[in-house]
C-alpha cells in the first residue's frame, strides 16, 4: 500500500507539534505546518508525483530540505528528526494539544514539572489541585481543563469524512474485484453522511462469501484483524480506522443495507411498523411468517412498509418516518442544484490563488458566479484588507468581469464582526460591494447573551447579507461560541439576512439541526466552500451532504439561484 498524502501530512504535523512543545523557532514550526497543509490538500498523491519525476520543491512553501523529507516519508522511510523528537518526548504527549486551554507552552510545563504526558495524568493532577500553582496556569484554567476532560476532550476522536473517504474508497475497489461479488456499499454513519464516523460498515452482496472475505482480511492497508469470520470480519486499518464487512446473499442485500445504514433509532422504528403490519423485519429481509416478501432493495422494503423511500441522510430517527407516511418528505437539495459559490479567499488575504484563477476554476465547475470574500483589516495575521485595498480589489474585479461572459465575480468581503457587533470596515466601502459576509474571529468566550447581542447588532447593519460559519465550531477541536439561535434566526428572517453552511469538512457550520431550524424559521442558507485554493471548491459536496441532513430543499438554499435571481434575493443594501 503506497503511503498516502494524509499519512505524510500527519507526520509533518506531528513534527510541528513536538517542535512547538520543545519551544523551537516559530518559523521552523510554521514551515512544517504549512508543508503538512500543502501535502494534505494536493489533488495528486506525492507517491505518484515522485514516480512521474515531478519536483516537490516546486510546491508552494516547500524548499529543498522539506522536499527531501517529504520524499523520504513517501518512500515509507523514517525521519531522523522525528525519531529524535520522539525519543525526547513521550509518544502520547501531542494528544494533550487537542485539549482546549492547552497550548505547547503549557504542555511543556506539565511535562517538565509534573511529568504529565497523557490525558489520564492530566485529569489526575487537575483533580488533585496540582495545576493551579504551576507557572502560566491558575485556578480558572484548572477548572476549564477539568470541564474539557469531563466533556470528552482528548479521548479517541471520530474520523472526519475526508479521511474516511480516502481510506475506504480504494478498499471498496479492491472488494469489488473479488469473485462472486455483485455490490459493495459503505453503510453506517458514512452513508448517512454524518460529519464524522466512529467506524466504517461495509455491506457486500456476494455468493459465495469466501473470496471477498479473503480479500478483505488480506488487504494491504490492514494493520490488525480483529475478527475473521465466514460472512463477517472486522479489521483496523493503518490509520486506526475500524472497518466491519458483512457479506449477504444478493436477495438480502437491501435489507442488510437498510439495517447497517441505521441509524439504530430509525431501524428500530421500522421494525415496529413491520410488527404493526404483522410482518417481521431483520437484516435478511421482510417476512410474513417464513415467506420473504421483500429484501432485494431498500425501495421495495420501504414500499412494503407503506413508506416513501427515505434518503440515508434523513435516517436519524427524528420525524422522517412520520413524514414518509404522510408523504411530506423534503425533496433534498443535490450537488447539481448548486450554481455558484459565495465564500472564497485569494492571495490578497490567506488564499493561495489569484482572483482570476479562482474565477476560472469556479467557471470550470459550471458555476455562474463566485464571491471573492477576503478577510478584513482586523485579521492582520492574514493581511486582511483595509478600505483602500478593498477599493482596489473592487476595481480589479470590475476589470476582470468585463472580460468574462456567462460568469460573474461578485465583489464581497468576509468582514470581522467586532466584539460590540460593529463591522470592521466603514459603510462607505461596504456599500460598493455585491455582498457582505460577516464573521466572528475573536472573543469566542463571550457569555451567551453578549455573543447573541453581538450577532443581532451586526445584522442591524443593512449591508450584512450572510453570517459566515455562524456557530464557530471546529469539529474535534472546539464546540463553537455560546449563542441563542432562536432570536438570531428570527432577526435573520425578518431582515432577509442569510446564514452560511460553511462546507469546509472540519467546520460544516451550520450543523444539520441548525439548518433545519433555519428552514423552519424561513431563513435562507448559503452553502459555501470558504475556499483558500482552487481545489477546495470541491468541498461543496460536503456542504450539500450536511444540508441534506438538515432537510434543506433547493428553494431553501441561496446559491441554487441563477445570478439574476440571486441578486434579487440578496439583502438589499
Ligand atoms: P458510528 O460508527 O458511531 O459513526 O455510527 P453508525 O451509525 O455507523 O453505528 P455502528 O457502526 O455502531 O452501526 C452501524 C449500523 O448498524 C447502525 O447505524 C445501525 C446498525 N446497528 C448496530 N447496532 C445495532 C443494534 O444494536 N440495533 C439495531 N437495530 N441496529 C444496530
Ligand atoms: Ca459505523
Ligand atoms: Ca460498526
- In this prediction, residue 572 has a pLDDT band, given cuts at 50, 70 and 90, of low
The region of weakest confidence among 46-50, 192-196, 467-471 is 46-50
CA distances from 200 to 36, 85, 155, 159, 557 (A): 26, 33, 19, 10, 30
| Domain edge (last residue) among 247, 262, 282 | 247
pLDDT computed for residue 510 by the predictor: 97
User: Do the beta carbons of residue 141 and residue 131 sit within 8 Å?
Assistant: yes
Q: Count how many Cα atoms sit within 13 Å of the Cα of residue 237 in the half-sphere of its side chain.
A: 26
Instruction: Examine the domain organization and report whether 167 and 34 are in the same domain.
Output: no
Which ligand is the nearest neighbour of the Cα of 268?
A: 1
Rg (CA), the chain: 26
CATH number for the domain harbouring residue 165: 3.30.460.10
pLDDT computed for residue 89 by the predictor: 85
Instruction: Examine the domain organization and report whether 241 and 257 are in the same domain.
Output: no
Closest to 528 measured CA to CA, from 370, 360, 348: 370
DSSP 398: H
The CB density around residue 522, as the number of other CB atoms within 10 Å, is 13
Q: Tens digit of pLDDT for each residue in 97-145?
A: 888 888 888 999 999 999 998 888 999 999 999 999 999 999 999 998 9
Mutate-to-test residue for ligand 1 from 161, 246, 260, 264, highest number of ligand atoms within 8 A of CB: 264
Ligand 2 ion: residues within 5 Å (CB) = 188, 199, 201
Which residue segment(s) compose the domain that 451 sits in?
335-570
Instruction: Examine the domain organization and report whether 395 and 520 are in the same domain.
Output: yes
CA distances from 43 to 208, 220, 346, 388 (A): 37, 23, 19, 35
Task: Kindly report whether the global pTM for this prediction surpasses the value 0.85.
Answer: no
Which ligand is the nearest neighbour of the Cα of 243?
A: 3
Which ligand is the nearest neighbour of the Cα of 200?
A: 2
The string over 392-421, giving b where at least 16 C-beta atoms fall within 10 Å of a residue's C-beta and e elsewhere, is ebbebbeebeeeeeebbbbbbbbbbbbeeb
Question: Could you tell me which residues come within 8 angstroms of residue 263 by beta carbon, excluding any fewer than 6 positions away?
Answer: 189, 192, 315, 316, 317
Task: Compute the distance from residue 229 Cα to the ligand 1 centre, in Å.
Answer: 19
Instruction: Examine the domain organization and report whether 64 and 80 are in the same domain.
Output: yes
Asked whether the predicted pLDDT for residue 6 surpasses 90, the reply is: no
pLDDT computed for residue 1 by the predictor: 65
Instruction: Examine the domain organization and report whether 275 and 369 are in the same domain.
Output: no
Mutate-to-test residue for ligand 1 from 152, 187, 196, 201, highest number of ligand atoms within 8 A of CB: 201
pLDDT computed for residue 103 by the predictor: 87
Asked whether the predicted pLDDT for residue 573 surpasses 80, the reply is: no
| Domain edge (last residue) among 247, 269, 304 | 247
Residue whose C-alpha cell reads 460593529 in the numeric block:
422
pLDDT computed for residue 571 by the predictor: 66
Task: Compute the distance from residue 286 Cα to the ligand 1 centre, in Å.
Answer: 19
Q: How high does pLDDT run on average in the chain?
A: 94
Mean pLDDT, to the nearest integer, of 161-185? 97
Q: Which three cell numbers stand for residue 113?
A: 514539572
Instruction: Examine the domain organization and report whether 301 and 427 are in the same domain.
Output: no
Determine which residue's CA is closest to atom 27 belonging to ligand 1: 264
Instruction: Examine the domain organization and report whether 284 and 379 are in the same domain.
Output: no
Q: Which three cell numbers stand for residue 70?
A: 517529504
User: Do the beta carbons of residue 99 and residue 145 sit within 8 Å?
Assistant: yes
Instruction: Examine the domain organization and report whether 174 and 322 are in the same domain.
Output: no
Which ligand is the nearest neighbour of the Cα of 232?
A: 3
Ligand 3 ion: residues within 5 Å (CB) = 199, 201, 244
Asked whether the predicted pLDDT for residue 4 surpasses 70, the reply is: yes
pLDDT computed for residue 380 by the predictor: 87
- Which residues are near ligand 1 (CB < 6 Å)? 188-189, 194, 197-199, 201, 259-260, 262-264, 267-268
Instruction: Examine the domain organization and report whether 236 and 305 are in the same domain.
Output: no
Asked whether the predicted pLDDT for residue 156 surpasses 70, the reply is: no
Instruction: Examine the domain organization and report whether 374 and 239 are in the same domain.
Output: no
Cα 334 off chain centre by: 18
Instruction: Examine the domain organization and report whether 236 and 261 are in the same domain.
Output: no
Determine which residue's CA is closest to atom 23 belonging to ligand 1: 264
Q: Tens digit of pLDDT for each residue in 279-292?
A: 999 999 999 999 99
Asked whether the predicted pLDDT for residue 153 surpasses 80, the reply is: no
Q: Tens digit of pLDDT for each residue in 303-313?
A: 999 999 999 99
Instruction: Examine the domain organization and report whether 454 and 520 are in the same domain.
Output: yes
Task: Compute the distance from residue 242 Cα to the ligand 2 centre, in Å.
Answer: 9
CATH number for the domain harbouring residue 70: 1.10.150.110
CA distances from 198 to 169, 264, 405 (A): 17, 14, 46
CATH number for the domain harbouring residue 539: 3.20.20.140
| Domain edge (last residue) among 130, 150, 170 | 150
> What is the total count of domains within the chain?
4
Amino acid at each position: 500500500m503506497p503511503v498516502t498524502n494524509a499519512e505524510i501530512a500527519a507526520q509533518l504535523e506531528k513534527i510541528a507539534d513536538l517542535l512547538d512543545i520543545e519551544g523551537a523557532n516559530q518559523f521552523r514550526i510554521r514551515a512544517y505546518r504549512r508543508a503538512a497543509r500543502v501535502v494534505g490538500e494536493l489533488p495528486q498523491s506525492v507517491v505518484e508525483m515522485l514516480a512521474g519525476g515531478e519536483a516537490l520543491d516546486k510546491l508552494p512553501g516547500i524548499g529543498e530540505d522539506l522536499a527531501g523529507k517529504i520524499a523520504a516519508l513517501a518512500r515509507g522511510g523514517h525521519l531522523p528528526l522525528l525519531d529524535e523528537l520522539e525519543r525526547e518526548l513521550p509518544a502520547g504527549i501531542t494528544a494533550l494539544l487537542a485539549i482546549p486551554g492547552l497550548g505547547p507552552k503549557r504542555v511543556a510545563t506539565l511535562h517538565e514539572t509534573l511529568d504529565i504526558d497523557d490525558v489520564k495524568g492530566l485529569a489526575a493532577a487537575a483533580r488533585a489541585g496540582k495545576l493551579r500553582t504551576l507557572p502560566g496556569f491558575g485556578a480558572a484554567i484548572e477548572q476549564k481543563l477539568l470541564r474539557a476532560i469531563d466533556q470528552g476532550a482528548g479521548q479517541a476522536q471520530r474520523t472526519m469524512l475526508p479521511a474516511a473517504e480516502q481510506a475506504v474508497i480504494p478498499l471498496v475497489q479492491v472488494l469489488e474485484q473479488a469473485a462472486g461479488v455483485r455490490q459493495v456499499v459503505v453503510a453506517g454513519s458514512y452513508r448517512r453522511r454524518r460529519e464524522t464516523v466512529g467506524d466504517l460498515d461495509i455491506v457486500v452482496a456476494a455468493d459465495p462469501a469466501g473470496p471477498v472475505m479473503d480479500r478483505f482480511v488480506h488487504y494491504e492497508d490492514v494493520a490488525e484483524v480483529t475478527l475473521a469470520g465466514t460472512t463477517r470480519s472486522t479489521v483496523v486499518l493503518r490509520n486506526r480506522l475500524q472497518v466491519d464487512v458483512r457479506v449477504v446473499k444478493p436477495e438480502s442485500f437491501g435489507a442488510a443495507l437498510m439495517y447497517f445504514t441505521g441509524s439504530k433509532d430509525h431501524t428500530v422504528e421500522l421494525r415496529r411498523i413491520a410488527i404493526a403490519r404483522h410482518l417481521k423485519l431483520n437484516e435478511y429481509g421482510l417476512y410474513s411468517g417464513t415467506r420473504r416478501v421483500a429484501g432485494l432493495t431498500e425501495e421495495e422494503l420501504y414500499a412494503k412498509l407503506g413508506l416513501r423511500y427515505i434518503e440515508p441522510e434523513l435516517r436519524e430517527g427524528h420525524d422522517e418516518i412520520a413524514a414518509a407516511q404522510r408523504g411530506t418528505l423534503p425533496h433534498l437539495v443535490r450537488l447539481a442544484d448548486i450554481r455558484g459559490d459565495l465564500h472564497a479567499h485569494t492571495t490578497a488575504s490567506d488564499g493561495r490563488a489569484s482572483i482570476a484563477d479562482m474565477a476560472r476554476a469556479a467557471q470550470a465547475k459550471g458555476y455562474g458566479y463566485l464571491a471573492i470574500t477576503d478577510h478584513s483589516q482586523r485579521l492582520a495575521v492574514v493581511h486582511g484588507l483595509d478600505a483602500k485595498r478593498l477599493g482596489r480589489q473592487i476595481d480589479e474585479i470590475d476589470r476582470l468581469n468585463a472580460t468574462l461572459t456567462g460568469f460573474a465575480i461578485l465583489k464581497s468581503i468576509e468582514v470581522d464582526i467586532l466584539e460590540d457587533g460593529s463591522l470592521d470596515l466603514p459603510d462607505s466601502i461596504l456599500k460598493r460591494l455585491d455582498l457582505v459576509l460577516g464573521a466572528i474571529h475573536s472573543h469566542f468566550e463571550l457569555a451567551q447573551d453578549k455573543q447573541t447581542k453581538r450577532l443581532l447588532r451586526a445584522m442591524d447593519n443593512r449591508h450584512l447579507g450572510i453570517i459566515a460559519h455562524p456557530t464557530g465550531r471546529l469539529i474535534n477541536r472546539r464546540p463553537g461560541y455560546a449563542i441563542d439561535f432562536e432570536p438570531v434566526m428570527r432577526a435573520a428572517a425578518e431582515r432577509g439576512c442569510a446564514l452560511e453552511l460553511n462546507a469546509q469538512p472540519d467546520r460544516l457550520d451550520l450543523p444539520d439541526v441548525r439548518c433545519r431550524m433555519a428552514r423552519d424559521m424561513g431563513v435562507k442558507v448559503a452553502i459555501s466552500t470558504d475556499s483558500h485554493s482552487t481545489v477546495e471548491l470541491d468541498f461543496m459536496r460536503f456542504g450539500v451532504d450536511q444540508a441534506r441532513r438538515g432537510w434543506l430543499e433547493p428553494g431553501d438554499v441561496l446559491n441554487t439561484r441563477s445570478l439574476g435571481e440571486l441578486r434579487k434575493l440578496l439583502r438589499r443594501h
